[in-house]
């Protein structure tokens, strides 16, 4: 059984440029085909919702989401390997969903690899449903891998947990 980190020890705040070294380090540890610094930098500069969870000086998790025309799209949600399965991914996702509601989005979308069972479980637990497949979406060892498209409605009064 995994221990849940006490929320009082955590700092959930907007991502800043000086976080990118830590973000890139985690991205490279977690993903075989990581985002580049340029992608993260572009997300910051265009005003996407970019958040981090820190404990002291250590960056533990980050999430990025775009919001436009009543829809939000979770673009990247990642937890440092040493802190996975401790509730941080859920904490960050819930925070992003709350921001989506505050900014009048009524639907949130995301893509996830079908092989990412723990992420799929978390998304389903947070009310997401599979609505489709994007063929050949992700790079993989064997060429390309499909992505599951998940979505959930988000409206004022929703309780996220």
Q: Catalytic residues, which ones?
A: 111, 123
DSSP state at residue 87: S
Other beta carbons within 10 angstroms of residue 65's beta carbon come to 27
CA gap 118, 55 in Å, rounded: 23
β-sheet bridge partners, residue 143:
140
CA gap 99, 114 in Å, rounded: 26
CA gap 49, 88 in Å, rounded: 17
Residue 54 corresponds to which tokens in the numbers above?
Answer: 């820190």
CA gap 35, 102 in Å, rounded: 28
């Amino acid at each position: 059984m995994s221990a849940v980190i006490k929320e009082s020890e955590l700092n959930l705040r907007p991502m800043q440029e000086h976080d990118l070294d830590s973000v890139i380090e985690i991205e490279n540890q977690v993903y075989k085909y990581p985002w580049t610094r340029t992608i993260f930098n572009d997300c910051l500069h265009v005003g996407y919702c970019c958040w981090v969870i820190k404990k002291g000086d250590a960056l533990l998790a980050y999430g990025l989401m775009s919001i436009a025309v009543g829809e939000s799209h979770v673009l990247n949600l990642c937890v440092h390997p040493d802190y996975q399965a401790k509730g941080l991914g859920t904490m960050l996702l819930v925070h992003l969903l709350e921001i989506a509601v505050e900014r009048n989005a009524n639907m949130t979308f995301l893509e996830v690899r079908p092989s990412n069972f723990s992420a799929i479980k978390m998304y389903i637990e947070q009310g997401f449903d599979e609505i489709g497949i994007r063929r050949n979406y992700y790079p993989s060892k064997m060429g390309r891998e499909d992505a599951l498209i998940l979505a959930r409605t988000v409206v004022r009064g929703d309780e996220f947990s």
